[in-house]
Amino acid sequence: MAKRPAALEGLVTPAFWQDRRVFVTGHTGFKGAWLVALLRHLGAQVTGYALDPPTAPSLFVAAQLDEGVTDLRADVRDAAALEAAMCQAQADIVIHMAAQSLVRASYQDPLGTYATNIMGTAHVLKAALRAAPDVVLIVTTDKVYRHGELDRPFREDDPLGGQADPYSTSKACAEMIATQYASAFGEACAVLTARAGNVIGGGDFAQDRILPDAVRAFSRGERLALRYPQAIRPWQHVLDPLLGYLTLCERSFKRSADFAGAWNFGPDARHEWSVEALVDAFAQHWPGAGWHWQKGEHPPETPVLRLDSGKARDRLDWHCRLPLEEALRWSAVFYQRMGEGADVGALMRQQIEEYLAICASS
């Protein structure tokens, strides 16, 4: 294991995470795989609970992240199995990331999306009542907010409701369920929710996400088709919100009332780029790559989505440490080296070490 800095400028304390028992749902997905790798780097004891990896290739499989963790394959819709697994793990901290996380897929299977994202969250919280961890973090999305005429970034106390798609409405429901559990059972453990911006990073292979779609197109020598090139989103490298989640969990430990509730983890305004600008910058790492506007009928998307993360900045000393241009370069390097047959686990560890070094010095 790499030598870790003693402190990260008010963020996580590696000594806190050493041998800390953490139960992670959705650990086989893109974001879950990076979380497992980060927790392992910090020395935590991780129990993962998830379905098989949702893509092939899979970052979780390629990096052999099942080694050194308790890797459980099961469904959050199975309440009995989830409760038994969580109780067996005797975790101090539960981080719930399992979800149906794609907007277009939610239109194709709305009932499955609701079952996973709404009832799955309810099952996690019910299981936590019996397993009694100190902290439960429910990871949702920046898309939970009700979209209207608001001409400023969303704050945590803005109305929830999502957009018209089943994904965002299911995540808004998950937020409300977490709020209800926190109100009714908050003395038992800290119940928190985290709303991150659009994450990017190496090893994501999902359909209908901008960088994986770009890599597939560019690798075939094709131009990437964009449905809404002028849509603006809060982009950030995947390690930035993940470190925010761990910082929040650590600060909440044994201090339930102080940090309970919802938290935004998004970039500042200079990293709120259009899809077009993001792809143009990413394409610079692939000679001859480009994109075209795919006009026609598409599911509706919000033109502008921005997050106000002032609460996390002021109370957690958290902000995105990796500039977006650098996050895109790291992502391109990761995909290219992975395509060349590099050791993916070593590549993840290298980027985590570089990222933590930036945090320690910034």
Q: Are 242 and 34 in contact (CB under 8 A)?
A: yes
Q: Look at the block and give the residue holding tokens 């370069």.
A: 329
Query: Is the CA virtual torsion 357, 29, 316, 267 positive or negative?
Result: positive
Q: Which residues contact 256 (CB under 8 A, 6 or more apart)?
A: 134, 135, 186, 187, 189, 190
Closest of 178, 209, 181 to residue 194, by C-alpha: 178
Bigger pLDDT: 7 vs 30: 30
Q: Which two tokens stand for residue 275?
A: 């899809």
Is the pLDDT at 4 greater than 60? The verdict is no
pLDDT at 22: 98
pLDDT mean over 18-25: 98
**Phi, psi dihedral angles at 110 (to 5 degrees):** -65, -40
* Domain 14-361 in CATH 3.40.50.1000: no
Listed range (7-21, 213-227, 313-327) with the worst mean pLDDT: 7-21
Domain boundaries, the chain: 14-361
Q: Supply 324's token pair.
A: 């977006």
Tokens found for residue 43:
């020395």
pLDDT at 1: 44
pTM: 0.95
Which residues does residue 191 pair with via DSSP β-bridges, in sequence order? Answer: 136
CA 24 – CA 344 distance, rounded (Å): 21
Model pLDDT for residues 32-60, shown as the tens digit of each residue: 999 999 999 999 999 999 999 999 999 99
Contact 137, 193 (CB under 8 A): yes
Length of the chain: 362
- Cα distance between residue 192 and residue 241, in whole Å: 14
- Residue 186's pLDDT is 66
Q: Rounded distance, CA 194 to CA 230, Å? A: 26
pLDDT digits (tens, 9 = 90+) for 90-121: 999 999 999 998 888 898 999 999 999 999 99
Range 245-275 burial, b when 16+ CB lie within 10 A, else e: bbbbbbbbbeebeebbbbbbbbbbeebbbbb
**Mean pLDDT, residues 67-87:** 97
